[in-house]
Amino acid sequence: MINYILRRVVTSVVLMIIISVVTFGVFFMVPKLAGTNPAELYVGKSATPADVAATARKLGLDQPVYVQYGRFVKGIVAGRDFNSGPSKTHCPAPCFGYSFRNDRPVFPLLLDRLPVTISLAIGASIIWLIGGVLAGVISALRRGSILDRSMMILALAGVSLPIYFTGLLAQLIFVHNLHWLPGGEYVNFRDNPIGWASKLLLGWITLALLYAATYARLTRATMLETVSEDYIRTARAKGLRERVVIGKHAMRSVLTPIVTIFGLDIGQLLGGAILTESVFGLPGIGRLSIDAVNTKDLPVVLGVTLFGALFIVVANFVVDLLYAVIDPRVRLA
Amino acid sequence: MKGKGMATDLLASGQPASGGSRPSAPRSFLDVRDLRIHFNTDDGVVKAVDGLSFQLDRGKTLGIVGESGSGKSVTSLGILGLHRHSKARVSGEVWLDGEDLIAASDERVRALRGQRIAMIFQDPLTAMHPYFTVGAQIIEAYRVHNNVSKKVARQRAIDMLGRVGIPQPARRVDDYPHQFSGGMRQRAMIAMALVNNPELLIADEPTTALDVTVQAQILDLIRDLQEEFHSAVIMITHDLGVVAELADDILVMYGGKAVEYGTAETIFRRPEHPYAWGLLGSMPRVDRDVRDRLIPVKGTPPSLINLPSGCAFHPRCPYVGYNGIPCRTEIPTLAEGSDHGVACHIPPAERQRIFSEDIAPAL
Ligand SMILES: Nc1ncnc2c1ncn2[C@@H]1O[C@H](COP(=O)(O)OP(=O)(O)OP(=O)(O)O)[C@@H](O)[C@H]1O
Ligand SMILES: [Mg+2]
């Protein structure tokens, strides 16, 4: 078991290093391929070529890529100084770059936005996990019934309708027409829990709908497969009540694929969150990245990308651990 | 010496359901009468079991033999009440110790399942839940029917594992099924089935997935435990060799019906149904090369949706139309002979002659 965990940790770290090298390389190469000097992105439009060159030198952008990567990594560990303009700018560890547009290091920028994204993700995932799995189990047990069919049609609609459609529609109906939910700015949970929840509610539901559909279909399929397994027949032959046969024996097996895609989905949620956050005006990481792309704020884009990758790698790591908890064949292999 | 009361039972149960001469009170511990299990499928009605009757007393073993698809497993699941009402139509009577399980409520049958009737399944790898320890699964089986603490149930599970010959049971109890070898896993299955001292044990091809030496050990184990608990055992197999030593009575199934039913001695010494001859002839024996099996049962098992007309075995029977018998038009019934039921149109004296003159010498 210890061995298993250690192996997973090492794999995750190696993966993260590779991702950071590739990402860094891409961000280094893209401006070059586009024929622009990355330093141009840091100076005003009216800057002279001499200004650009000076900025490039100060930011180290004239150095070869491996030197820049080395400095970047060193910044993460020990912090880093940028000699931008007349003054020296300090970026404390962990330094994932410095956003000159926002005049702040990237890391605290991300940290600021993180609670919003996490609130969105956790709320939505609770709804879709419970809703999707429940719908899938009921569908499987009532296979072929009207309930089953309507739920599966709903699920199909759920996966096929894009967030900006369902999101905007929901916003239009519940916020603008019915006035059931407030518009306006996002508020912190600590300041106003009810305001926080009602601002996030539509986002949760829209995002959950998208994922719940997949979960319902997966749960239904796995459940149908599982109930015809020999060991379910054995459970019945022991005289167990149907409730226990389904709720304990079958659910235990259905859980495995659910945990797997849940881990992957949580990792990729950032993608879903970008759309959801912009549709519902939530100031999370997703919005930050859109703003950064719009303003060509490269350090922030790089930071968000790496952060997203980290999210995925960690989620995968957690899934691997959960696997071992769930499946003794993995744990004891 | 075996199959006590067979003659009268056969006469009674061999009648068609409409005969109306069935006795109302069952005399055997297990008395199955005219059991029918039909499935509605998209292609038509599958008559997996169609009018099956047999009896079994405590301490006795009944072997049910037949090819794949003859309805053996469907029969055993029917006795356990494990067919879903939505898919299967079950009719007939299954009397267990004076109680008709077909007429009983679902909850009543559930309470009996695992308690008085237990089952051992064919493949112990797939029949145990991969995510629960062997011990947990045995403990669960014990606690559904006994109101005892986890600790007591655990001790019981360890005792049972020791009883079925698993070394170091106190340690192995916490292992998962995949950590057991095939034979050990089947032993654990048996421990689980026997944890409540069931009075009726149904073993559905308990050794097919195992290699030959382990097979013999498992069969010995089942026999020893049966003697110890004095339970009735139904041993289901497609291999006559398995039931040769174990069974008191043997029921040969073909296409969802019994084609021959008698004591084991009768079935092995003087079988009368051409299908039983085929089964005997294809029995592997040490002194015979597999290639010169005498009468392999040619052809394929019948479709249970469109059974051949008349005798279901007629397309594969070497004696079809023998002396003008109506194989293709009339369904033969089982009730013939004194201690021995044979569903065949060939007259009994002729069958016995054919067996002793043509079949037996070549076996
Ligand atoms: N739930 C079901 N729905 C429809 N048909 C079924 C169902 N269960 C079994 N059958 C059919 O009933 C027939 C008898 O099956 P059964 O499993 O009893 O055979 P068997 O004698 O046990 O064979 P084997 O030696 O292969 O185990 C088969 O043709 C099978 O396809
Ligand atoms: Mg079978």
Domain residue extents for chain B: 1-116+198-363, 127-197
Find the CB nearest A231 among B82, B127, B133.
B127
pLDDT in tens, B22-72: 556 677 999 999 999 999 998 899 999 999 999 999 999 999 999 889 999
Residues A171 and A225 in one domain: yes
Q: What is the domain extent for residue A216?
A: 106-332
Confidence of residue B225 (pLDDT cuts 50, 70, 90): confident
Nearest alpha carbon, ligand 1 atom 9: B74
- Residues near ligand 1 with C-beta < 6 Å? B 39, 41, 46, 48, 66, 68-74, 87, 238, 304
CA distance A299 to A281: 23
Which residue type does B354 have? I
CA distance A237 to A239: 5
From ligand 2's centre to the CA of B254, what distance in Å? 13
Contacts of B129 in chain A (CB under 8 A): 231, 234-235, 249, 252-253
pLDDT in tens, A85-142: 566 788 888 888 888 888 889 899 888 888 888 888 889 999 999 999 999 999 999 9
Residue indicated by tokens 């030959």: B212
- The encoded tokens of residue B344 equal 């065949």
Contacts of A228 in chain B (CB under 8 A): none
Taking each helix axis from N to C end, the angle separating A251-280 and A106-141, rounded to the nearest 10 degrees, works out to 130
DSSP A242-292: HHHIIIIIIHHHHHHHHHHHHHHHHHHHHHHHHHHHHHHT--SHHHHHHHH
Around Cβ A206, how many Cβ atoms within 10 Å?
A: 25
pLDDT in tens, B323-354: 888 989 999 988 744 578 999 999 989 999 99
Instruction: Give the helix/strand (H/E) hosting B120.
Output: strand B117-120
Find the CB nearest A326 among B119, B131, B133.
B131
DSSP single-letter state for residue B48: E
Q: What's the structural domain count of chain A?
A: 2
pLDDT at residue A135 in the model: 93
pLDDT at residue B16 in the model: 41
pLDDT at residue A302 in the model: 87
pLDDT at residue B73 in the model: 93
Contacts of A237 in chain B (CB under 8 A): 80, 82, 113-114, 118-119, 121
Last-in-domain residue among A72, A103, A134: A103
Q: Which atom of ligand 1 is nearest to the CA of B70?
A: 21
Contacts of A230 in chain B (CB under 8 A): 121, 123, 126-127
DSSP single-letter state for residue A65: H
Residues A78 and A137 in one domain: no
CA distance A22 to B238: 62
pLDDT at residue A280 in the model: 84
Question: Which chain B residue has the Cα nearest residue A252?
Answer: B131
Residues 271-300 in B contacting A (C-alpha not used; CB under 8 Å): none
How far, CA to CA in Å, does A133 sit from each of A137, B28, B134, B159, B271?
6, 48, 28, 39, 56
Which residue type does A156 have? L
Please determine, looking at this structure, whether the domain spanning B1-116+198-363 carries the CATH number 1.20.1730.10. no
CATH code at A124? 1.10.3720.10
Q: Which atom of ligand 1 is nearest to the CA of B253?
A: 21
pLDDT at residue B15 in the model: 40
Task: Answer whether A243 touches B (CB < 8 Å).
Answer: no
Query: Beta strands B249-254 and B257-263: pairing type?
Result: antiparallel
Nearest alpha carbon, ligand 1 atom 19: B69
Residue B119 CA: which ligand is closest?
2
ipTM of the complex: 0.86
The alpha-carbon gap from B174 to the nearest alpha carbon of chain A, in Å, equals 11
For residue B135, which phi and psi values (nearest 5 degrees)?
Answer: -60, -45
Residue indicated by tokens 């250690």: A6
Indicate whether this model's pTM tops 0.90: no
- The encoded tokens of residue B219 equal 């069969």
Taking each helix axis from N to C end, the angle separating A285-294 and A298-326, rounded to the nearest 10 degrees, works out to 150
pLDDT in tens, B95-127: 999 999 999 999 999 999 999 999 999 888 899
Task: Answer whether A142 touches B (CB < 8 Å).
Answer: no
Which residue type does B175 have? D
Calculate Rg over the CA atoms of chain B. 21
Nearest alpha carbon, ligand 1 atom 18: B71
State the 10-residue block means of pLDDT for chain A, 333 residues long.
86 90 82 73 72 78 83 87 72 84 87 87 91 93 90 84 82 83 80 85 87 91 94 96 95 90 80 76 86 85 85 85 82 72
From ligand 1's centre to the CA of A46, what distance in Å? 83
CB-based contact B178 A329, cutoff 8 Å: yes
DSSP single-letter state for residue B69: T
Q: Which of these, B149, B241, B233, lies nearest to B198 by C-alpha position?
A: B233
CB-based contact A237 B111, cutoff 8 Å: no
How many inter-chain contacts (A to B, CB under 8 Å) are there?
A: 69
Residues 51-80 in B contacting A (C-alpha not used; CB under 8 Å): 77, 80
DSSP B228-276: HHT-EEEEEES-HHHHHHH-SEEEEEETTEEEEEEEHHHHHHS--SHHH
Burial, B11: exposed, middle or buried (Cβ in 10 Å; 0-12, 13-18, 19+)? middle
Q: How far is CA A88 from the centre of its chain?
A: 34
pLDDT at residue B31 in the model: 94
End-to-end CA distance of chain A: 9
From ligand 1's centre to the CA of B253, what distance in Å? 13
DSSP single-letter state for residue B97: T
DSSP single-letter state for residue B358: I
Question: Which chain A residue has the Cα nearest residue B132?
Answer: A328
Last-in-domain residue among A103, A124, A151: A103
Residue indicated by tokens 């020791």: B162
CB-based contact A237 B121, cutoff 8 Å: yes
Find the CB nearest B123 among A230, A239, A326.
A230
